[in-house]
Amino acid sequence: MKNKKFTYRTLLCLALLFVYSCGIKKYIPEGEQLYTGATLDLNYEGELQDSKRVKAELLNLIEPNPNTKFLGMKPALFFHYKAQREKPGFLYRFLNKSFGEEPVYFSDVNPERVEELILNRLDNNGFFYSESESETVIDEQFASVNYSAKLPAPYVLENYTLESDTLPMYKEIEKLLPETALKKGDRFDLDLLKTERIRLNNGLKQKGFYNSQEDLLIFEADTNQYKNRKFDLFLRLKKEVPSRASIPYTIDSITVYPNYTIEGDTLPLTKENVTQVDSIDFVQNELYFKPELLESYLLFNEGDLYDANTSKQTSNRLSALGSYKYVNIQYTELDTTGTDGNGGSLAADIYLAPLTKRSIRAELQAVSRSNGYTGPGILLSHTNRNVFNGGETFSVSADFSYELQLSNSNNNLSSIAGGLSADLIIPRSIPFSPSRFKYAVPKTKISLGVDFLQRSDLFTLSSVNSSFGYTWKENQYVYHTLDPISINYSRLSNVTDEFQEILDDNEYLSQSFEQRFIAGLLYSFTYDEVSNLSKEKPIYFSTNFDLAGNALSLFSGGSNTIFGSEYAQYAKVDADLRLYLRWQKERTLVSRIYAGWGIPYGNSSTLPFVKQFYSGGPYSVRAFDIRSIGPGSFYPDTEDDSTDYYDQSGNLKLEANVEYRFPLFSYLKGAFFVDAGNVWLTGDYSSLVEDESTSSSSVSLFTDGKFEKDWVNEVAAGVGFGLRLDIQSFVIRLDLASPLRIPYLDENERWNVPFFGNADNNMTLNFAIGYPF
């Protein structure tokens, strides 16, 4: 009955929206027709292999775009019309601000202009002597245009040759030609020719031609030799090429200013302030950066040909040191005559403006953790950049916070947390040579920290952690993190009788807390296009691999302990894929898929508690509290809500999210979202289930939480909407969500009408810092 009510309400809403959308006719001004769009019909001779691409390219030329449709209706236009009334009301002002569109009338359309654009684009694609026409269709207050084009057979490439000349530039161009993407039989394509010219110019700039420009390269097509729509392509330099552009340049001298101030003048070169390393002059009054270390970040040397790519990569490497706020490489032409046959020469000056060496920061924080705990905190930190005059950054930080789990129905859950940590980041890959990494040099990071966490009326967890590893950027989008040494030791103390009962009643949870020592290897791979705002469809992908206990087993002598403490053995991997779709007015549709799996082995039957997966909360399925879902269809049989979430974790997690983000007012953003996911248990727990000493709660956990073929029926789902205060990437987020499917109910009762159903906790308010993904 609930599903039927939901369907009736949905159909009623859609019917009302349809009636309102059909009522836009009365808003169309007299003498105007609403533009409903255009069609394009292509007729071409023979077979066109890439007809879909050609048609898509031509469709992009048709302007303007009509008002958007939804299920055959135009709600965005309707909201706009309603907002233009004398007293539109708050609702229509809000809907128009968020979704409204101004009307597109036929008077805004210029079919003749579009025909010209189509013909021009067809010429650029080799369809010379094409024909294009249009037909206008007017139906009362609506109008559309039907475009058509007749395409003859395209001209295709027969030969691609370079005209000969005595200039040195021709010899280098000849060497670059074999790598061309142009091949016999290719259709004439102006965009391909532009791409080829860019490729050749970049190649020349990597071979010393400092003053090379794209417009120096001229393509000429000759069709006179053929009668069957073929052409020969000739490449030459334009007439009267400047001598400075036609000769290669060699770097004659390199001067580096490691302590340059943007406001001040450069230092004169004297014996007192110049240090020379491999013919490179380092100018600094007092030692700021060790020259022998700084020299290893430079990818060019005296006597090398000028290379634009090498120069850019050197700049990237110097910027990535973390010691400089300003990096500028300037070249000065010393000799442009090239009379000796070796071309011209350049002087390279590298200006490096340092960041402030020491900084102290104290800040009050609004802490929001992934486990739902939120509250005030304080952070104190001290940073010393370039601490050993080699770009090293040493930082010490201390934090303290009081947190309350607002997302849980029981507000007695609170915690006190604190920690002290020290990090040393060395901008070199110890012990590897920096020259092996062209794009950016890896950074070596050494960390040591202590933390404590006191859960109210439950326990105190203290830990010591240390790691040694590397981070490096492979290119603009790819990041790597490798920690070959990662150690964590934790100690559970001050356990209350209440929490001890939980441990005694749950063998799975008890074992996960017993593994105090975690030592292993961590690796992360990230591909991130989201920071590139020019991309309309960026992709984000990351995966993490965590392997623990292998090395320790070699030194434990067959025991499952080391230094008197039990150590964990497991392998864990997860993957996070996000697809973004951006369009006008800062609107974004984000789709996300997440999967993670951990496998305990050796002396471990469960993952350590801190390594387990959980579902629910502000960064997961937001219609449910933290750890209130799963594993599987399991639901804790207890009347004390304060202990529920400890049981609900697993070693397998699957999750999917879709979120539509849109602007509201200034810094205030809105969102609609759908979340789905759960956690499960994998492995053989039959011995624990059959053991008579195992509690009924544990038996239920192992049976209901196991990953089976019908796992789809155990997926939790929820929908909701949210508000985000986004000030220069600092985001305060409120999300109100409601369950759509509840996995721990009986199978025929799991569907729920969001916000209007009868489920317990039918609405969940999430407060968090930052976007969920």
In this structure, the number of other CB atoms found within 10 A of the CB of residue 648 comes to: 27
Does residue 509 fall inside a structural domain? yes
- Are residues 344 and 327 located together in one domain of the fold? yes
Does residue 491 fall inside a structural domain? no
Does residue 388 fall inside a structural domain? no
- Taking a C-beta distance cutoff of 8 angstroms, is the pair 693, 712 a contact? no
Domain count, the chain: 4
- Are residues 134 and 169 located together in one domain of the fold? no
CATH number of the domain at 652, please. Answer: 2.40.160.50
What per-residue confidence (pLDDT) applies to 365? 62
- Are residues 545 and 519 located together in one domain of the fold? yes
Domain boundary among 179, 206, 237: 237
- Are residues 232 and 261 located together in one domain of the fold? no
Does residue 458 fall inside a structural domain? no
Distance CA(112)–CA(134), nearest Å, equals 8
In this structure, the number of other CB atoms found within 10 A of the CB of residue 21 comes to: 19
Average pLDDT of the residues in 124-130: 92
Q: Give the residues across from 654 on adjacent strands.
A: 595, 678
What per-residue confidence (pLDDT) applies to 182? 94
Model confidence at 342, pLDDT cuts 50, 70, 90, reads low
Model confidence at 12, pLDDT cuts 50, 70, 90, reads very low
- Are residues 37 and 167 located together in one domain of the fold? no
Domain boundary among 354, 380, 398: 354
CATH number of the domain at 203, please. Answer: 3.10.20.310
Distance CA(547)–CA(537), nearest Å, equals 34
Cα–Cα distance list, 750 to 1, 307, 651 (Å)? 13, 65, 24
Average pLDDT of the residues in 428-434: 73
Average pLDDT of the residues in 218-222: 93
- Are residues 67 and 192 located together in one domain of the fold? no
What per-residue confidence (pLDDT) applies to 692? 63
- Are residues 81 and 225 located together in one domain of the fold? no
Distance CA(438)–CA(228), nearest Å, equals 49
What per-residue confidence (pLDDT) applies to 5? 43
Cis peptide before 111 (omega within 30 of 0): no
Domain boundary among 151, 181, 200: 151
The SS3 call for residue 307 is coil
* Residue of 700 and 293 predicted with greater confidence: 293
Average pLDDT of the residues in 51-77: 88
* Residue of 610 and 693 predicted with greater confidence: 610
Does residue 455 fall inside a structural domain? no
Closest CA to 331 of 298, 303, 352, 306: 306
Model confidence at 704, pLDDT cuts 50, 70, 90, reads confident
What per-residue confidence (pLDDT) applies to 10? 46
Does residue 764 fall inside a structural domain? yes
Ramachandran area for residue 245 (φ above 0: left; ψ -120 to 50: alpha; else beta): alpha
| Mean pLDDT computed over every residue of the chain | 85
Lowest mean pLDDT among 5-19, 109-123, 531-545: 5-19
Does residue 422 fall inside a structural domain? no
**Tokens in use for 110?**
């210029």
The SS3 call for residue 188 is coil
Model confidence at 691, pLDDT cuts 50, 70, 90, reads low
- Please write the tens of the pLDDT for every residue from 139-187: 889 999 999 999 999 999 999 999 887 788 899 999 999 999 999 999 9
What per-residue confidence (pLDDT) applies to 560? 66
- Are residues 162 and 298 located together in one domain of the fold? no
- Please write the tens of the pLDDT for every residue from 476-515: 899 999 999 999 888 888 888 888 877 777 767 777 776 5
Q: Exposed, middle or buried, 714 (CB in 10 Å: 0-12/13-18/19+)? A: buried
List, in sequence order, the alpha helices (H) in 46-167. 51-59, 75-83, 89-99, 111-124
Does residue 482 fall inside a structural domain? no
Backbone angles phi, psi at 206, to 5 degrees: -90, -5
Distance CA(750)–CA(740), nearest Å, equals 8
- Are residues 114 and 254 located together in one domain of the fold? no
Closest CA to 743 of 614, 596, 634: 634
For the cut 60, the answer to whether the pLDDT of residue 644 exceeds it is no
- Are residues 139 and 195 located together in one domain of the fold? no
Distance CA(189)–CA(332), nearest Å, equals 38
- Taking a C-beta distance cutoff of 8 angstroms, is the pair 486, 476 a contact? no
- Are residues 182 and 263 located together in one domain of the fold? no
In this structure, the number of other CB atoms found within 10 A of the CB of residue 133 comes to: 12
Model confidence at 586, pLDDT cuts 50, 70, 90, reads confident
- Are residues 665 and 713 located together in one domain of the fold? yes
Q: What domain range is 137 assigned to?
A: 2-151
Instruction: Report the percent of the chain where pLDDT is more than 90.
Output: 46
